[in-house]
Structure 1
C-alpha cells in the first residue's frame, strides 16, 4: 500500500493543490483526471520521486518498486532493442554476477577458519536467499513477448535503438516497465504513439498482469477498460471516485448539481440574513439577534462550486466543392524499399463522401499508402486522384513541423490570403487562442496547443479530401469530441489513420486493413472490425 499524505505544491505564490491525501491499494487501477494545468503530471512526478512537493510526502514500503513512464522521453542509446529491454532485469543479472564472483573467491581461498572467509559465506548465503526467492523465468522469452506485444518484429530486436523514432523508443521503455512487474506503474499518456493492436495488448497486460496502476490518458476507451477508480484533480483539491471514467462523469455531474443547489440555498440564506441585519441594525430590541447573525455570517464558509472548463474548440470545416465519383483509385499498387516489401498488388477505390479508416500495426504501410496517394513517393502500379480533388493533409508529425520562432498569429498570417486575413483573430479565438495568447511563440506551446494550431492551418482552404494521420495525439477529451463532430459533418471524403478506438467509433464506415504486405478492404464499421478481430488478435500474443 502506497499513501500520499498532505501533499501541497506552490509555484511563485500560486497553489497548484493543497493538503491532498489518498491511498493506492495493491490492485487499484486509477485514472488521474482534470483539465489541462490542474496538476496531474506534477502529482505523478511527485509519486515517482521525480519532483519534490512544497509540503507533504509519499509513503511506500521499503522494497516497493514504482515505475514511471513520462509523456516525453529524451533518450540516446547505443545498444540494441533487445539489450535495452533486457535492462529491466539488470538488478537480477547484477545479483547473479555478484554471486558468481563470490563463489569464485570461495573456490580459490583456503583460509576456511578466518573471519573474512566466514563473512564471504554469509554474503553468498544472504545473496543466494534473495536470488533464489525470485521466480524462475525465461528472461529472453519474457523480453520477446513484451516487445512483440508492443509492435516490434523479431528482426527489430538486434537493431540499434537510435534507429527508432521517439514513439518506438517509448515502447522500449514501456516494455522495460512491464517486465519489471512493479508494485505501482505510473503512465502519462502511454497510448499516444502505439497502434490499436498494441493498445489492446497493453490493456490486457495492465488488467491481467499489473498490480497497481495510475494513468493519465485522453484515450477514453483505454481508461474505461483498465480503470476501476478515478481521482479528479480540480481547484487545488481532489475527488476520489470508485468508478471508471464514464461512470465518474455521471457522478461528477450529480456532485456539481448538488453543489449548485447547496450554493444557491446558502446565497438565499445569506441574502435573507443581510436584509435582516440592514433592517434592524440600530434597533435596540434586535441588537442581540443582529450581532448573532453578523457573527454567523463572518464564520460562514462559502460553498464552492467546482469549476468546469468552459473553453471549447469551435470547429467547422468549410463546405467542400464537389469532386468526381471516386476521389481515390488504386490498382495493382506495390511498394518496396530494397528487399523489404511494404504492400503488394493493392486494389481499392474510395467513393465520394466515404469516411474510411486505415488500420494495422505500425510499419505495415498505412503512412506509405498515404504518401503514395499524395504523390510523395515512387511506386509500381496506379494510384490516382479523381476529378477536381483538393487534398487537405494532417501528418502525424504536423505539430512538430510548425516554426518554433513564429508567434501563433504569425503562423497563420503568413499563409492566410485575401479577406481571410481580416478574420485571423476570430479564427484563432475559435480554437481557444484568445487575447494575449496569439502573441505566444510556438516554441512555448503544449502538444495539444500545437495540434490545434496545425488544425487551423488545415482549415484555411476548402478541401474535399481530408487525410488525417493520428490527428488526436495530444488533444484532450473535449477537443477530440469536437473534432469528431466536425468530421461527422464534413461533406467531403475522409481517410483517417488513428489508434483511438473511441474517436473512430461511429465515424468510420469502411476499414482498410494493412497486414502481411496486403491491403484488405472490410465493408464494416471500425466497431464491427475490432469486435470481430479482438479475440483473434489477443490469441496472437500470449499473455500467460
Structure 2
C-alpha cells in the first residue's frame, strides 16, 4: 500500500492544494480528474518522487517500485529500439552479472577465513534470494510482445531511437515501464500518441496485468474502460469515488447539488442574522443579542460550492460557399518512399457533407494520404479535389505557422469575423486560455498551447472541406466536447484522423481503414467498425488454427 499523507503544494504564496490524503492499494485503477491547472500532473510527480511537496509526505514499502510516464520526454538516442526497451530489465540483469562476478571470486580466492570472503558470501546469498524470487522471464520475448502491442513492427527493433518522433519514443518509454512490472504505474496522458489498436492493447494490459495504476487522461472511453476509482482535485481538495468516470460524473453532480442547497440555506441564514444586527445595532436592550450574532457570523464556516463551468459555448463555423458534389475522388492512388510502399491502388470517393474517419496503426499512411490531398507530396495515380472546395487543414505542425510576435488574443482577434467577435474571451477560455494567458506572446507558448490556438484559428475560417489530423491531443474533456459539437453542426465535408474512440463516436458515419498498404472502406460508424473488426480477427484465428 502506498500512502499520500496530508500533502500540500504552494506556488509563490498561493496554495495549489492542501491536506491531500488517500491510499493506493493493489488492483486500484485510479483516474485522477480535475480541471486544467488544478494540480493533477503536480500530484502525479510528487507520488513518483520527481517533485517534493511543500508539506506532507508519500509513504511506500521499501521494495515498492513506482514507475512514471510524464506527458513529455525524450529517450536517449545512443541505441536501437530493442536495446533501449531492454533497459527495463537492467536491474535484474545487473543482479545476475554481479552474482556471476561474486561467484567467480569465491571460486578463485583462497582467504576462506577472512572477513572479506564472508562478506562476499553474505552478498551472494542476499542477491540470490532476491534474484531467484523473481519469476523466470524470457526477456527478449517480453520485449518483443510489448513493442508489437504498442504499434512497432519487427523491422523497427533494430532502428536507432533517434529515427523516431517524440510520440514513438514515448511508446518506448511506456514499454520499459510496463516491462518492469512496477507496484504502481503513473501515466500522464498516455494515449495522446497511440493509435486505436495500441490504446486498446494498453487498456487490456493495464486491466489484466498491472498491479496498481493512476492515470490522467482526457480519453473518456479509455478512462471508463480501465478505472474502478476516481479521485478529483477541485478547489485545493480531493474527493475520492470508488467508481469509474461515468458514474463519478453522476455522483459529482449530486454532490454539487447538495452543496448548492447548503450554500443557499446558509446564505438565507446569514441574511437573516445580518438583518437582525442592522435592525437592532445601537439598541441597548438588544446589545448582547447583537454581539452574540456578530460572533456567530465571525465563527461561521462558509459553505463552498465546488467549481463547475455552467457556461455553454456554441461554436459555429462561418458560412462557406457550397462545394461540388464530390470533394475528394481518388483512383488507383499509390505512394512510395524509395522501396517502401506506404499504400497502393487506393480508390474511393467522398461525397459532399460526409463525415469520415481515417483509422489504422501509425505509419500505415493516414497522414500521408492527407498530405497528398493537400498537394504537399507527389504520388502516382489520380486524386481530384472537387469544384469550389475551400479546405481547412489542421495538423500538429500547424502550430508552427502562427505569428510569434502576436499575443494569444491578437491571434484570434485577427481571425474572428462577425458575431463571434463579442465572444473571443469565452472562446479562448473554452480552449484553456484565461486571465493573463490571453496576453502571452505566441513565442512563449508551449507546444500544447500553440496547438490549441491553431485549432481556434481554424474554427473561425469559412471552409467547406475540413481535414483534421489528431485534433484532440492537448485538449481537455470539456474542450473536446465543444469541438465535437461544432463539428457535428458543420455542414461541409469532414475528414478526421483520430485515435480517440469517444470523440469519433457519433461524429463519423464512415470509416476508412488503413493497413497492409491498402485502404478499406467501411460503411458504418466507429463502434460498428470496432465490433466487426474483432469478429474478423476471431475468424482469422479460427482459420489459422484449422490449417
TM beyond 0.5: yes
Mapped pair 1:199 → 2:196:
no
Task: Give TM-score scaled by structure 1 length.
Answer: 0.94
**In structure 1, how many angstroms separate the alpha carbons of the residues matched to 2:434 and 2:127?**
62
Aligned to 1:242: 242
1:447 Cα offset (Å) = 4.8
CA–CA separation in structure 1 for the residues paired with 2:91 and 2:460 = 55
Q: How many residues align?
A: 538
The CA deviation at 1:531 is 1.9
- Secondary structure at the aligned position of 2:38 is classed as coil
In structure 1, C-alpha distance between the alignment counterparts of 2:390 and 2:352, rounded to whole Å? 12
Note if 1:225 corresponds to 2:194. Answer: no
- Give the gaps of 5 or more residues in structure 1: none
| Alpha carbons 2:467, 2:494 under 8 Å: kept | yes
Deviations 1:86-127 (A, max 9, x none): 011000010011111111212222333433323322222221
Aligned equivalents of 1:65 and 1:208: distance in 2? 18
Q: Deviations over 1:275-334 (max 9, x none)?
A: 233334454554443333333222111111111235665421122311111111111111
Deviates more, 1:237-246 or 1:431-440: 431-440
Q: Distance in 1 between matches of 2:448 and 2:35?
A: 12
Matched residue of 1:397: which SS? helix
Correspondence for 1:392: 392
Is 2:2 aligned against 1:5? no
Aligned to 2:544: none
The answer for the alignment partner of 2:58 in structure 1 is 58
What is aligned with 2:266?
A: 266
Q: Does 1:34 align with 2:31?
A: no
Residues of 2 paired with 1:179 and 1:534: CA distance?
Answer: 26
User: Cα RMSD between the aligned structures?
Assistant: 2.3
Deviation at 1:404, TM superposition (A): 4.2
Structure-1 separation of matches of 2:218 and 2:77: 29
Q: Secondary structure at the match of 1:431?
A: helix
Question: 2:396 aligns to what SS in structure 1?
Answer: coil
- Answer yes or no: is the 8 Å Cα contact 1:342–1:365 preserved in 2: yes
Residues 138 and 539 of structure 1, relative CA distance in 2, 3 Å threshold: farther
Q: Distance in 1 between matches of 2:110 and 2:438?
A: 78
Report what 1:48 is aligned to. 48
Whole-Å separation in 2 of the counterparts to 1:329 and 1:285: 90
1:430 aligned partner = 427
After alignment, is 328-337 or 152-161 more displaced?
328-337
- Confirm or deny: 8 A CA contact 2:32 2:214 kept in the other structure: yes
Match of 2:105, SS? helix
Provide the rounded CA distance (Å) in 2 between the counterparts of 1:143 and 1:61. Answer: 27
Q: In structure 1, the residue corresponding to 2:381 is in which secondary structure?
A: strand
Deviates further, 420-429 or 4-13? 420-429
Q: Does 198-207 or 419-428 show the bigger shift?
A: 419-428
Question: Which of 286-295 and 425-434 deviates more?
Answer: 425-434
Are 2:509 and 1:509 aligned? yes
Q: Secondary structure at the match of 2:243?
A: coil
Deviates more, 1:283-292 or 1:359-368: 283-292
Question: Residue 349 of structure 1: CA displacement?
Answer: 0.5
CA distance in 1, matches of 2:250, 2:64: 35
Q: Which residue does the alignment assign to 2:15?
A: 15
- Cα deviations across residues 477-519 of structure 1 (Å, max 9, x unaligned)? 1110011011111111000000000000000000000011110
Q: Paired residue for 1:527?
A: 527
Partner of 1:153: 153
Aligned partners of 1:196 and 1:501 also within 8 Å: yes
- Go from structure 1 to structure 2 and tell me whether the alpha carbon gap of 1:117 and 1:204 turns closer, same or farther (over 3 Å shift): same
Q: Secondary structure at the match of 2:291?
A: helix
**Distance verdict in 2 for CA 1:390–1:490, change over 3 Å:** same
Secondary structure at the aligned position of 2:186 is classed as strand
What pairs up with 1:33-182 in 2 under 5 angstroms?
33-182=33-182
1:429 and 1:308, CA in 2 relative to 1: closer, same or farther beyond 3 A? Answer: closer
Deviation at 1:462, TM superposition (A): 1.4
CA contact (8 A) 1:314 1:431 kept: no
Distance 1:446 1:425 in 2: 27
Q: Which moved more, 1:19-28 or 1:490-499?
A: 19-28
1:383 has 2:383 as partner: yes
- The secondary structure found in structure 1 opposite 2:264 is helix
Q: Which SS does the other structure have where 1:197 is aligned? A: helix
User: What residue number does 2:545 align with?
Assistant: none
Counterpart Cα distance in 1 of 2:301 and 2:412: 47
3-state SS of the aligned residue for 2:111?
coil
| Structure 1 residues 258 and 410: CA distance shift in structure 2, 3 A | closer
Displacement, 1:533? Answer: 1.9
Q: CA deviation at 1:383?
A: 0.9
- CA distance, structure 1, for counterparts of residue 307 and residue 456 of structure 2: 28
8 Å Cα contact 2:19/2:56 also seen in 1: yes
Moved more, 299-308 or 279-288: 279-288
Partner of residue 402, structure 2: 402
Larger deviation, residues 258-267 vs 281-290 = 281-290
Is the 8 Å Cα contact of residues 201 and 538 (structure 1) preserved in structure 2?
Answer: no
402 and 72 in structure 1: CA distance in 2 versus 1, 3 angstrom threshold:
farther
Q: Does the Cα contact within 8 Å between 1:187 and 1:216 map onto a contact in 2? A: yes
Superposed displacement of residue 536, structure 1? 5.6
Using the size of structure 2 for normalisation, the TM-score is 0.93
Counterpart position of 2:278: 278
- The 3 A distance-change label for structure 1 pair 38 and 92 is same
